[in-house]
Amino acid sequence: MVANITSGDNVKGMVAYNTKKVENGEASVLMLNNINDGTQAGIQKMIQYQNNLNPNVKNRNFHVSLNFHKNDLTFLNEKRLKEIAEQYMNEMGYGDQPYAVFQHFDASHPHVHIVSSRIGMDGRKIKDSMERRRSKRITDSIERSYGLIIANDQSTMPGVKDLKKEVLEYVEKGKGDLRNIIDQSLYVAMSKLPLNEKELKQFLNSYNIDFYYDENLHGLTYYLFKEAVKENGEKVKQQAGKSLKASETTKKMLHSDLQAFFERNKNQKSKHLKNVRGTVFSIFNPLQNRNMVVSLNDLTVSLSKKGIGLNVLRAKSGDRKNNIIGVSFTDRKTGFRYTGEEVKLKWTKLSPFVTDDRSDVEAKRAKENTYNPIAHDPAKFEMMTEIEKIMKLHSDRTPNDHQEDLRKKKKKKRML
């Protein structure tokens, strides 16, 4: 969660920036505090009145945007956004001020804009010393209490251009900013939406970063490591340099905060499983019903057009080296990955209808067996993938049709 605060004296311009977006369908008025009229004129009048209580102060406008991670889009409904905006304004000292909250829809990440006045009812300027530092503490606290995904503005935090290179420099030469390295690694790791400590460790370990939890002290500690080999050939981790407590990181995500974060991810993943499964089967059912074979590339493209990423797992060794041994599906809207078992479509069930055109061995078979309906209407089918052609000839099914099929099958079994 990132807060960007600006000031000024042009009340009309500040308010109009947001109301114009409302008129264009790019924003909505989320809530009003001590303002009765939600029109541009009404909001502008109340803030201008407040500003006029002390004309000697410069930059009397208060305009802040609260920006969240894009993967929190489905979690942050209107109710939660209102709660967060209200909590932020209260803790910043603007709880009694007239202010308007606008929810914007003009970017891929969820965000709100809040407009208000820096002049209180007593005519004094609301305290703004160390404003950005106080704002950062508040946003970090809100991020933890709601289990939000860490969102950082790279302009407010030292960046690490090449995390692996920075880690290597620290591990081998002791050079670099440990806190910044840990901050950046956690930022990237959280964006992967881990569901438990094991998944978080797997990602951090790929960067030679690990952590441990001291149950007696209830403390979480991060450290960098290098691999060493014992005489018996066993690989072990050796801590390199100093360690860093969770409370010393920028986000200060403690062990309890991590558990809340994992739980939220589990709930969100479970919530979207039904839609992902329906979308995948809206592609698969026409193939199964018509007993058609398509190329892996066409399957990937068709799923991608419906917002689903197809991930292929290949054998790394043995007689089946480079052969596909499993699949998983990524919901591009939420970022969650689902195994074939979770979607109820394992590779063993999918493989009879797909040829691996990315493998030299299967290339010829893919060309020979892929269904080609161009003869029906060459102009109409020319730009379609094979699956789209099959689905067009088959029906105009939607992702929900798979769920309807299941209901009909259950009803038929009960009748029997």
Could you give the percent of the chain with pLDDT greater than 90? 45
Q: What percent of the chain has pLDDT over 70?
A: 83
Look up the CATH number of domain 2-145: 3.30.930.30
What band does 254 get if pLDDT is binned at 50, 70 and 90?
confident
pLDDT for the residue 380: 40
Q: What is the pLDDT of residues 324-345, one digit of tens each?
A: 999 999 998 788 899 999 999 9
pLDDT higher than 60, residue 277: yes
Whether 204 contacts 189, CB under 8 Å: yes
At residue 358, the pLDDT reads 66
**Residue closest to 64 by CA, chosen among 105, 114, 99:** 114
**CA atoms of 9 and 4, how far apart (whole Å):** 17
Please say if the pLDDT value at position 133 is more than 50.
yes
Other Cβ atoms within 10 Å of 368 Cβ, number: 9
Closest CA to 190 of 239, 257, 267: 257
Beta bridge partner(s), residue 338: 329
Indicate whether 368 pLDDT > 80. no
Sort 110 into a burial class: Cβ within 10 Å, 0-12 / 13-18 / 19+: buried
SS3 323: coil
Q: Output the pLDDT for position 413.
A: 60
Mean pLDDT of the chain: 83
pLDDT tens profile 48-61: 999 999 999 999 99
Q: Taking the domains of the chain in order of start, what are their residue ranges?
A: 2-145, 163-253, 269-415
Residue 398: the pLDDT is: 52
pTM over 0.85, yes/no: no
Judge whether 357 and 297 are in contact, CB under 8 Å.
yes
Q: Please name every residue paired with 115 in a beta bridge, in sequence order, or none if there are none.
A: 63, 100
Tokens of 51: 């500003």
Q: What is the pLDDT of residue 401?
A: 57
Instruction: Name the one residue in this structure whose structure tokens are 């259950």.
Output: 410
The pLDDT tens digits for 161-199 are 577 888 888 888 888 888 888 888 887 788 788 999 999
Under 8 Å between Cβ of 81 and 112: yes
pLDDT tens digits along 58-102: 999 999 999 998 777 777 888 889 999 999 999 999 999 999 999
Q: What average pLDDT does range 5-27 have in this prediction?
A: 90
Dist CA 412 CA 416 (whole Å): 6
Identify the pLDDT of residue 352. 94
Phi/psi at 293 (5° precision):
-115, 130
With bands split at pLDDT 50, 70 and 90, how would you rate the model's confidence at 387?
Answer: low
User: Does pLDDT of 258 surpass 90?
Assistant: no
Question: How long, in residues, is the chain?
Answer: 416
